[in-house]
Amino acid sequence: MDVKVEKTENKNEVKLSFTVEAEKFEEAMKKVYSKTAKYFNIPGFRKGKAPMNIVEKYYGKEIFYEDAFNELVPDLYDEAIKENNIEAVSKPDIDITQMEKGKDLIFTATVQTKPEVKLGKYKGIEIKKIEYNVSDEEINHELGHMQERNSRLISVEDRPVEEGDITVIDFEGFVDGVPFEGGKAENHELEIGSKTFIPGFEDQIIGMKIDEERDINVKFPEEYFSKDLAGKDATFKVKLHEIKKKELPELDDEFAKDVSEFDTLDELKKSIKEKIEEENKNKEKYETEEEAIKTVCENTEIDIPSGMIELEIDNMIKDIEARLSYQGLKLEQYLQMMGKTESEMRTEFEEQAKRSVKSRLVLEAIATAEDTLPTDEEVTEKIKEMAKQYNRDEKELLENEQLKSYLADSMKSEKAIDFIVKNAKIK
């Protein structure tokens, strides 16, 4: 195999020209034939028993070309990238010049490469001091949540519905007098003021009495996920079955004993304060680091290849798909609900992807410049901690090269961030 590497007219891009011996291409075709022979049904031969040359005559000589190319080329490409020390950051753009039985396979692979990072000022940058103090309001807010979680529901029969009540209703929705899909339910619990229904619906429940029936007129929002209903007027026929209200426990020492390991309300408040303080410290640290990264990135020049941005967007979408799968949703369903196309989503993610890629490249450059790269021993120690924390087989994790690479990159960024913040002027 012969490989020639040359820079293209585009910045951060190289073209690899491959010439692969005809014999290698022939071997790849034979390999493909062996894998797929069982699928060929040719008159005069038992299924899967027709010789390769007969299959080529029957279906055309090009029958195995594409699969043979896909069988052969990925390994050849990876080998060439490695041998020529090319840091590829995009998928290769393949252009086939010659692909024919009995002749050398000739093709090119154009790929974007890792860009040069021209670091600006990253030592002694100025960062505004970020500080969050715990207020009585925050403590009382948390206590209110605890009250809510420990409340009980009591039936109300002597008055109409009020804000904050939990109602049990039947409803059916109509647009232009015709019922629509998903617009009907029986014995549905609805908290008035929760804003879980169409704007205006819950407000019109207020004042209803038990067993009362009422027509409620609303308008679907223009951005409603169902395009068939978006912006349309609708009428819901509603019947009220039950009214309930929350009864909150008193905030006293007995409450503290019931909901926590503390004996007094003051001790519970102190514990809540300490928890919020810890959360604030983490918040301060995160925001300080983000501000430091932002400042350093603004001082740095990088011409980021489009392929890196596209790959980052790919990863962002994969992450969304993974999270949606836990909810039993597919990306297509989510996009339909949001009234967006995947192309529109990719456009929305573009700026975020640029920032993410740039910050990663900058942090890597700083780690290299300041020699703060993680050692093999540090990575190994991190893996051992993970094995212990998640009760995983230590040996198995230590043999996982992908995990090692991920942790090394993560630790590289962490060390660079620590360096920037330690050397920053925080005012």
Give 327-337 pLDDT, tens digit per residue.
Answer: 899 999 999 88
What is the model's pLDDT at position 213?
Answer: 97
Residue 282 lies in a domain: yes
pLDDT grade for 351, boundaries at 50, 70 and 90? very high
What is the spatial distance between Cα 168 and Cα 182, in angstroms, rounded to a whole number?
Answer: 18
Residue range of the domain that includes 228: 152-247
d(CA 44, CA 46): 7
Question: In the structure encoding, which two tokens stand for residue 415, read together?
Answer: 């060390």
Torsion of the alpha carbons at 280, 129, 411 and 396, rounded to the nearest 10: 0
Are 306 and 216 part of one and the same domain? no
Which of 378, 381, 366 has its CA nearest to residue 423?
A: 366
Report whether 94 contacts 66 (CB < 8 A).
Answer: no
Secondary structure (DSSP) of 105-167: EEEEEEEEBPPPEE----SS-EE-----PPPHHHHHHHHHHHHHHT-EEEEE-SS---TT-EE
Amino acid found at 316: M
**Whole-angstrom Cα distance, residue 73 to residue 106?**
11
Residue 260 lies in a domain: no
Composition of the chain by helix, strand, coil, percent to 5:
50, 20, 30
400 shares a domain with 310? yes
Residues 282 and 209 in one domain: no
Does 338 reside within a domain?
A: yes
Cβ count within 10 A of residue 321: 13
Looking at the structure, tell me whether residues 242 and 280 fall in a common domain.
no
Residue 224: per-residue pLDDT: 87
Q: Are residues 90 and 215 in the same domain?
A: no
Residue range 61-96, pLDDT digits in tens: 899 999 999 999 999 999 999 999 999 999 999 999
Total domains, the chain: 3
What percent of the chain clears pLDDT 70, i.e. is strictly above it?
100
Q: Which amino acid is at 191?
A: E
Of 309, 292, 416, 298, give the one whose Cα is nearest residue 365: 416
User: Contact, 89 vs 308, CB < 8 A?
Assistant: yes
280-305 pLDDT, tens digit per residue, is: 999 999 999 999 999 999 999 999 99
Residue 145 lies in a domain: no
State the pLDDT confidence band at 373, using cuts at 50, 70 and 90: confident
Spatial distance between the Cα atoms of 237 and 214, rounded to a whole number of angstroms: 6
186 and 60 both lie in a single domain:
no
- Looking up residue 186, the CATH number of its domain turns out to be 3.10.50.40
Tokens of 293: 């990264």
Residue 23 is assigned to a structural domain of this protein: yes
Are residues 236 and 322 located together in one domain of the fold? no
Does pTM top 0.75 for this prediction?
Answer: no
pLDDT above 90 for 347: yes
Q: Residue 345 burial by CB count (10 A; 0-12/13-18/19+): exposed, middle or buried?
A: middle
Whether residue 267 lies inside any domain: the answer is: no
Last residue of one domain, picked from the residues 228, 247, 266: 247
Each residue of 241-287: pLDDT tens digit? 999 999 999 999 999 999 999 999 999 999 999 999 999 999 999 99
Is 131 among the domain residues?
A: no
- CA 384 to chain CA centroid, Å, is 27
| 55 phi/psi in degrees, rounded to 5 | -60, -40
Domain CATH for 419: 1.10.3120.10
Looking at the fold, whether 169 and 78 belong to one and the same domain comes out as: no
Q: Report the candidate in 118, 101, 93 with the shortest Cα–Cα distance to residue 65.
A: 101
